[in-house]
Amino acid sequence: MSEPTVNMKITPMWDKTIFVQVGVPRLEKEIRKWASTHQLDVVVGNPEDPDIVACPCFGLIIDRSLIIENEMYSLYLDSVNDDPDSKLSKVMKTFSISIFVDDIKDLELPLSDVVLQVNLNQKNAIKFILKNLELASKLVAGTSVKHIEAVDKYLDNQE
C-alpha cells in the first residue's frame, strides 16, 4: 500500500506559528508579547481538542499534565513517532522545537530534533524559553526548501 501524498513544503503558517497549551497565564502572555515583536503568531490550544496535532507550527510549548488523561498527548506522539520514516513524521519533526513546562519525567518524548523540559520555578525560565524560540525561529526563517531537501538527501545517503 503506497503512502498518501504529503505536502512537503513548509507553509507560511508553519514557520510563523507557535503552539501554546499551558495553564500559566503569565507564560502565555510573555510568549504572545515576544511573538508579536517578532512577527510570529501564537495559537493557544484547547486541551480537550486535537489542536496539538492539527496546528502546524515550528514551536510547541505545552504542559503535558493538561492533556495526558484525555489522551491528546498520545495522539500527538502517534502523529510524530509511530512511523519515523513517513513523510508526515519527517515534516512534523524537522526544524521544530518542543518545550514541555511540566515536571513529568516518565512519559515518552517526541522524536523531534529539539526537545526541552523547563521547570517554570527556575530563575529566568521564561527567558530561557523565549531564547530557544528565537533560535528556532531564526533557523526556520533561514532555511529554504532546497536546503532542507539537500540536507535530507545527504542524511538519507549516510544511512
Which positions ≥6 away from 33 have C-beta within 8 Å? none
The topology (CATH level 3) of 14-158 is: Rossmann fold (3.40.50)
Q: How much is the pLDDT for 11? A: 52
Report residue 53 as a C-alpha cell.
Answer: 496535532
Q: How much is the pLDDT for 116? A: 94
Amino acid sitting at position 136: A
- Bigger pLDDT: 36 or 75? 36
Q: What is the mean pLDDT of residues 98-122?
A: 90
% helix / strand / coil in the chain, to the nearest 5? 45, 15, 40
Residue 99 to residues 21, 94, 96: CA-CA distances in angstroms? 11, 15, 10
First to last CA, the chain: 24
Q: How much is the pLDDT for 155? A: 67
At 27-73, the pLDDT tens digits run 999 999 999 999 899 999 999 888 888 888 889 999 999 988 878 88
Q: How much is the pLDDT for 33? A: 96
Strand bridging mode 114-117 / 17-21: unpaired
The single residue listed with the C-alpha cell 524560540 is 133
Write down the domain spans for the chain. 14-158
Query: Do 52 and 76 touch, CB atoms closer than 8 A?
Result: yes
Report residue 76 as a C-alpha cell.
Answer: 500527538
For CA atoms 65, 29, 10, 6, the dihedral sign is positive
Q: pTM for this structure?
A: 0.77
Give the whole-number percent of the chain exceeding pLDDT 90. Answer: 38
How many helices (H) and strands (E) the chain has is answered by 6, 5
Query: Do 20 and 99 touch, CB atoms closer than 8 A?
Result: no
